[in-house]
A and B are shown apart, each in its own frame.
Chain A
Amino acid sequence: EAGVAQSPRYKIIEKRQSVAFWCNPISGHATLYWYQQILGQGPKLLIQFQNNGVVDDSQLPKDRFSAERLKGVDSTLKIQPAKLEDSAVYLCASSLGREYNEQFFGPGTRLTVL
């Protein structure tokens, strides 16, 4: 079974530029999550999708971050414009969507904002 795929693995941009990350979840997984992991901290949930609808985006900085999950499969997370404090690893995870299902994580995208 293929795991959660993410691209790119690394990205370096200047502040005020825009960037997009892509995630392909495990086939059949209804729920998709985007997390932000700042160096030295645990992952923090940014947004959760159930199929192609948003379940929780309470911690997503909506003035600069946006995410979509078209057709309930792949997802894209965008930052526009980026700030220095957005430097982090962005993790995508997916699960079957039931209450205590294990979340499977992708390898992450390491973003450096200069």
Chain B
Amino acid sequence: AQSVTQLDSQVPVFEEAPVELRCNYSSSVSVYLFWYVQYPNQGLQLLLKYLSGSTLVKGINGFEAEFNKSQTSFHLRKPSVHISDTAEYFCAVSEKGAQKLVFGQGTRLTINP
């Protein structure tokens, strides 16, 4: 069975600073990887996904993530954050051949002015 570990429960950063949210996964088969964002009192919204091909994936709102198979990681990055990026971020994995998503426990990103 697959699992996801988000290494930081909270990440505080200053506005316009770069940020990295870390995600490691475990699976015995090939996987698809996702990052979702959840704003307060809202559902989850897809930021980006890795299915195959280039290991650097670009998503919405200036976010990008890099798939590293050898380290089983899929870290999310943004070079310059804004106050509006304050939210909860979830990493998720899906085994190829299945439609089921397994989520990490989330990372709360707080942007300080």
Contact = CB atoms under 8 A, between A and B. Distances in A.
Interface of A: 4, 31, 40-45, 48, 55-56, 91, 93, 95, 97, 99-103, 105-108
Contacts of A106: 43
Interface stretch (B14-22, B67-75, B78-86, B100-108): B100-108
Interface residues of B, number: 26
Contacts of B101: 43, 45, 103
Contacts of A43: 44, 90, 101, 103
B94 interface: yes
A23 B42 CA distance: 15
B99 interface: yes
Given A44-B103, A105-B43, A107-B42, 14 more contacts: A4-B43, A40-B9, A40-B105, A41-B105, A41-B106, A42-B90, A42-B106, A48-B100, A93-B44, A95-B99, A97-B99, A100-B32, A100-B51, A107-B43
A56 B100 contact: yes
Interface of B: 4, 9, 32, 36, 41-46, 49, 51, 90, 92, 94, 96-106
A99 B104 contact: no
A108 B97 CA distance: 27
B44 A105 contact: yes
Contact of B97 (A4, A56, A99): A99
B90 A91 contact: no
A91 B51 CA distance: 24
Contacts of B104: 42
A49 B32 CA distance: 20
